[in-house]
């Protein structure tokens, strides 16, 4: 686990990269929200990250999110982002603990979240399989509009944008076309938010319109083994 000094340095470097990407795209820095991907990292590291000014944390696993939300419930203003797919049986954890869900792709999950959610609506991003990878989750590009309408008909959920995970390659530039395609689809559907970009390609994502970037390794270092 990295120490506070290294965490502060990593955050400073990361914020600088985000700022420069925004400048290249002619966008203000406040257009882009950093989600600190904290899966498998211990709550004490997240608490230190909070002390460094981070408020938005991304978790891939529903039960881990549940446990960390409980462990850090004393921190005002902390926001929890569920960024991985969830099974219907675990939707109850997201419904209670998450503020935002980035990987909605199944109507049965949406229905369970809606049934279990109380209080503020759960902000949801529809996951789109832009590159049509057989190994990736997400809805086909042509089915998104109909799915959005079905989710909008459910109480306690709010569709705020789209998310995608492009093919993982060694060249960030290869993510540009999938990001651009998602941005075009979001504009057509009049959805204002785009969740796209991770440690290796978040700068390209910002240049192509991302409003939330999900970054873990560049901030926390390599994550512990599962």
pLDDT at site 148? 98
pLDDT at site 167? 86
pTM reported for the whole predicted model: 0.96
CA diameter of the chain: 48
| pLDDT less than 70: residues of the chain | 225-226
Which domains does the chain possess? 4-220 (3.20.20.10)
pLDDT at site 170? 82
CB of 2 closer than 8 Å to CB of 220: yes
For residue range 61-85, list pLDDT tens digits in order: 999 999 999 999 999 999 999 999 9
3-state secondary structure the chain: CCCHHHHHHHHHHHHHHHHHHHHHHCCCHHHCEEEEECCCCCHHHHHHHHHCCCCEEEECCHHHHHHHHHHCCCCCCCEEEECCCCCHHHHHHHHHHCCEEEEECCHHHHHHHHHHCCCCCEEEEEEECCCCCCCCCCECHHHHHHHHHHHHCCCCEEEEEEECCCCCCCCHHHHHHHHHHHHHHHHHCCCCEEECCCCCCHHHHHHCCCCEEEECHHHHCCCCCC
For residue range 162-186, list pLDDT tens digits in order: 999 998 888 999 999 999 999 999 9
pLDDT at site 168? 84
pLDDT at site 29? 93
């Amino acid at each position: 686990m990295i120490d506070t000094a290294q965490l502060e340095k990593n955050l400073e470097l990361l914020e600088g990269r985000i700022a420069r990407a925004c400048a290249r795209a002619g966008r203000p820095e406040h257009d882009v929200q950093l989600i600190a991907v904290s899966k498998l990292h211990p709550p004490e590291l997240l608490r230190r990250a909070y002390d460094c000014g981070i408020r938005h944390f991304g978790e891939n696993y529903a039960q881990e999110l549940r446990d960390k939300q409980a462990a850090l419930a004393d921190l005002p203003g902390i926001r929890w982002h569920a960024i991985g797919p969830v099974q219907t049986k675990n939707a109850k954890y997201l419904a209670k603990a998450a503020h935002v869900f980035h990987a909605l792709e199944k109507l049965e999950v949406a229905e369970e979240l809606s049934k279990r959610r109380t209080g503020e609506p759960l902000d949801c991003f529809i996951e789109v399989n832009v590159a049509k990878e057989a190994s990736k989750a997400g809805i086909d590009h042509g089915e998104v509009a109909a799915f959005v309408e079905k989710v909008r008909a459910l109480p306690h959920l709010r569709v705020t944008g789209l998310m995608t995970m492009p093919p993982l390659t060694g060249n960030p530039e290869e993510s540009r076309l999938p990001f651009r395609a998602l941005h075009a689809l979001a504009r057509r559907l009049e959805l204002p938010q785009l969740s796209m970009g991770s440690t290796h390609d978040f700068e390209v994502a910002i240049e192509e319109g991302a409003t939330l970037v999900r970054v873990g390794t560049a901030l926390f270092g390599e994550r512990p083994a599962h």
